[in-house]
Amino acid sequence: MVVVLQAAVAGFSLEVMSSVRAYVAGEALWSRSQKNAVYSLNRYLHSGEPSQFAQYRAALAVPIGDEFARWALERDPVDVEAARIGFLQGGNHPDDVPGLIWLFRYFNRVSFLQDAIREWAATDPMLLELSIFGEVIRSELENGPIQDDDRLQFLSSRLSELNTQFTVHANRFSTVLGEGSRAIKLTLTFINIVTAATLILLLIWHTRRLVLQRQAFEDALHAEKERLAWQASHDWLTGLANRRAFEARLQGELDNAAAGPLTLILLDLDQFKNVNDSCGHLAGDRLLCQVARLLQHHRQSYDLVARLGGDEFGLILPQCSPSNAVDIAERLRRSLELFSFAWDDRCFAVTASIGVACIADRTTTLEDAMRRADAACYRAKEKGRNRVQVDGGRSDVVVVAARPREAVAARG
């Protein structure tokens, strides 16, 4: 669209300028032929040579042809073929004739062309008079040279007057065409500049729009990739990291030999099945979400809390000494013990069995670390639930005593 519009404007400008140039060239032929006609007839008047009369007729045919073309274009309807014949008789180049006809037909109401046509039409009576003069002089010279000096002087003076009149109108015609062509040049130049500037702005706007669309697409694609990556590494229900992300983080911590002590905590809810069986899965999901928020409370930014599946959760605590790890695990146990889950006017006690594995040797494999924490959690369940069990990597494990749920309830 941009290229076609610019090409159309440029083509229109070239056509107008070419047509105006054709009128300027035609005006030169028109005015010169009128002068030649008067000059040849004046010489014929004094010499009586037939060759001079033939030159007069040939010169007079040029403005008469142009006059005939103008009349054809002023008719309703326009006679294009008659106009073409007239312009050709006027000595115009065949390639210029279509432009002469086109400009006259569609731009004859433009001020400069109206003025030029007015000067052109003003010579019609003079051409008629010149034609009559030629026939009169020819008829008088058929009987020999004119002997009456007064008659000869009158005819010669009248031809001189006609020449002066032709010159005045020709000069005006030339001046109007010159001014019009300069005005058209400036106008078309301005139009082309405005069009080019508009198209450039349009291209800039369109390019910017494409860039913004591309940026929006890339942002949407990036957001979708992040969303998919988040979904691939997080639990859809609780928003915690999933097992895949948990194991990847644990492997990264194990591979970092320069890091400090590392603690791995696995936590398994004790009464989750009761909630699911008595209140349904929706209640179970609500409980898991509340437990997830509780586990995230007061965690460091570099700690990782994950839901490993079902009612099983895991924590990775980098740079955490064994004593701190036991304190953290105990605080988590007590927070869950004091937590009460309500659903449909029913309250459920929630406790957890927690296994802690303190890893000092970074050559430990991921499977071994998980096995140790899982074994500690299993032993916590075997020993009565609602307790923390620490696996220090030896066959004998340290059991952290915990108050049974019944004792807490009795105190309440």
DSSP string for 192-228: HHHHHHHHHHHHHHHHHHHHHHHHHHHHHHHHHHHHH
pTM, full prediction: 0.51
pLDDT (tens digit per residue) in 168-213: 888 888 888 777 777 777 777 787 788 788 888 888 988 999 999 9
| DSSP three-state, residue 93 | coil
Q: What is the pLDDT of residue 245?
A: 94
Neighbour count for residue 293 (Cβ, 10 Å): 12
Q: Closest Cα to residue 362, out of 262, 217, 292, 282?
A: 262
Q: What is the pLDDT of residue 393?
A: 55
Torsion of CA 240, 241, 242, 247, to 10 degrees: -150
Q: Are 17 and 114 in contact (CB under 8 A)?
A: no
Q: Closest Cα to residue 106, out of 86, 85, 84, 78?
A: 78
Distance CA 362, CA 364 (A): 5
DSSP class of residue 327? Answer: H
Tokens 């586990």 locate to 295
CATH 3.30.70.1560 assigned to 243-411: no
Tokens 């003069």 locate to 133
Tokens 């609500």 locate to 286
Distance CA 287, CA 309 (A): 14
Q: What is the pLDDT of residue 409?
A: 38
Q: 66-88 in b/e burial notation, b at 16+ Cβ within 10 A?
A: bbbbbebbeeeeebeeebbbbbe
Going by their DSSP bridges, the two strands 304-309 and 312-318 should be labelled as antiparallel
Distance CA 220, CA 294 (A): 33
Q: What is the pLDDT of residue 297?
A: 87
Write phi, then psi, for 398 (nearest 5 degrees).
Answer: -95, 130
Q: 329-355 in b/e burial notation, b at 16+ Cβ within 10 A?
A: bbebbbbbbebebebeeeebbbbbbbb
Distance CA 312, CA 352 (A): 9
Q: Closest Cα to residue 90, out of 110, 72, 105, 106?
A: 72
| DSSP three-state, residue 111 | helix
Neighbour count for residue 10 (Cβ, 10 Å): 14
Q: What is the pLDDT of residue 172?
A: 86
Distance CA 16, CA 181 (A): 9
What residues pair up with 341 in beta bridges, in sequence order? 348
SS (HEC) of 256-323: CCCCCCEEEEEEEECCHHHHHHHHCHHHHHHHHHHHHHHHHCCCCCCCEEEEEECCEEEEEEECCCHH
pLDDT (tens digit per residue) in 380-396: 999 999 999 998 654 33
Going by their DSSP bridges, the two strands 262-269 and 388-391 should be labelled as unpaired
Distance CA 108, CA 113 (A): 6
Q: Supply 390's token pair.
A: 């620490």
Each residue's pLDDT, cut to its tens digit, for the chain (412 residues) gives 767 777 787 777 778 778 888 888 888 888 899 999 999 988 988 888 899 999 999 999 999 999 999 999 999 899 999 999 999 999 999 999 999 898 888 888 888 788 888 888 888 998 998 899 889 888 888 877 877 788 888 888 888 888 898 888 888 888 887 777 777 777 777 877 887 888 888 889 889 999 999 999 999 998 999 888 888 999 999 999 999 999 999 999 988 867 778 999 999 999 888 888 888 999 999 999 999 999 998 788 889 999 999 999 999 999 888 899 999 999 999 999 999 899 988 888 889 999 999 988 878 899 999 999 999 999 999 999 999 999 865 433 444 444 444 433 333 3
Domain boundaries, the chain: 2-205, 243-411
Q: How many CA atoms lie within 13 A of 375 on its CB side?
A: 16
Q: Are 360 and 378 in contact (CB under 8 A)?
A: no
Q: How many CA atoms lie within 13 A of 96 on its CB side?
A: 19
Q: Supply 218's token pair.
A: 């890339």
Q: Are 233 and 242 in contact (CB under 8 A)?
A: yes
